Amino acid sequence: MYDIEAIYEAESVSNAIELLQKYPYAVIIAGGNDVLIKIRKGKLTGSTLVSLQKLDELRGISIDHNNAIRIGSLTTFSHIAKNPIIQKYIPTLAEAVETIGSPQIRNIGTIGGSVCNSGCDVCNVCNICKSVSFSDCAPNLIAYSAIVEYCGPHGKRLVPIKEHYVSAGKTALETGEILQAIIIPKESYENYFGNYIKYSTRAVMDLAVLSCSANVSLSPDRKAIEKLRLAYGAANPVPIRALNAEKIAKGKNINTETISLIAKTTLNDIKPRSTFLATKDFRIHLVEELAKRVVTKSLKRAGVIL
């Protein structure tokens, strides 16, 4: 049995907003992967829940008139992985969600829950790891310069995903708001080639020790990097882009020396800490190594021969 005060099933987005205004300390539940674990561990004992499960308008993937890709917040990982729009235009996200948990988890887990959840809650070993974001979706969406769409008492608002993550355990969502969709603008995916690597101690059903996602576009002559977006998960309290490494990559000729320079520069951006999963020193090693690998694979996907 789960110890909860009450659960309300929203009949529409507007009804969900009304319920969240009426019960400002209520917890939103979608797939339940994370919320139910927290309740079972006593962290949300006696909570009031607002369920979004009936809101089919928050499910699905489409392309709008501006060729932006729109992913409803209740879309499951399984649907994302198999969706032809995702596979054609942003395959790196499909690859990332397939690293999440088991098939059962991917069948009920939602992208909105992954983006809004922070921390791990797998054990009670330490307080450090619970301030680190382990979402496999987040670094990919940051590398795609995604935009999150909130809906609340004052209507809709669009927020760059880098501003969605405020601090450990806190997002930019305000009281009464829900995450309605994730939007990938055309200019964020067109002519970009990417890759995602999740390093974990087991191949499946494990949290990332560190994860890294890259998207790269090439110069017209395909000899230089025009733009690079490089993002990390499970490295900091919130997902983070390696901005110094991105800056140094711009305009550089494509060769192994450039890739090594990019990887080494990431150490100026990413400062991981020790957790129960791995030591700080090992994760620092991974920061550089994963950068080399994701950039190399992204360039190969762009047709570059190294």
pLDDT in tens, 242-278: 999 999 999 999 999 999 999 999 999 998 887 777 8
Q: Closest Cα to residue 153, out of 120, 178, 185? A: 178
56-187 placed in CATH 3.30.160.270: no
CA 162/CA 138 separation, integer angstroms: 9
CA triplet 269, 205, 110: central angle to 5 degrees? Answer: 80
Mean pLDDT lowest for which of 57-61, 100-104, 210-214, 294-298? 100-104
Please determine, for residue 195, whether its predicted confidence score (pLDDT) is greater than 90: yes
User: What architecture does CATH give domain 4-51?
Assistant: 2-Layer Sandwich (3.30)
Average pLDDT over every residue of 41-68: 92
pLDDT over 80 (residue 133):
no
Residue 122 pLDDT: 40
130 near 170, Cβ under 8 Å?
A: no
Name the residue with higher pLDDT: 287 or 128. 287
**Residue-level pLDDT at 94:** 94
Overall average pLDDT of the 58-79 stretch? 97
Nearest Cα residue to 231 out of 298, 185, 300: 298
What are the sequence ranges of the domains in the chain?
4-51, 56-187, 191-301
Cα separation, 137 vs 243, in Å, equals: 19
Instruction: Name the token pair of 51.
Output: 């369920």
37 or 193, which is more confident? 193
User: Do the beta carbons of residue 97 and residue 137 sit within 8 Å?
Assistant: yes
The pLDDT value given to residue 120:
45
145: left (phi over 0), alpha (psi -120 to 50) or beta: left
Residues 157-173 have a mean pLDDT of 90
Q: State mean pLDDT over 111-125.
A: 63
Q: What is the DSSP string of 33-46?
A: TTHHHHHHTTTTTT
pTM above 0.85, yes or no: yes
Share of the chain above pLDDT 90, in %: 68
* Lowest model confidence (mean pLDDT) among 72-76, 130-134, 247-251: 130-134
Mean residue pLDDT of the chain comes to 89
Q: In the CATH hierarchy, which fold is given to the domain comprising 191-301?
A: Enolase-like; domain 1 (3.30.390)
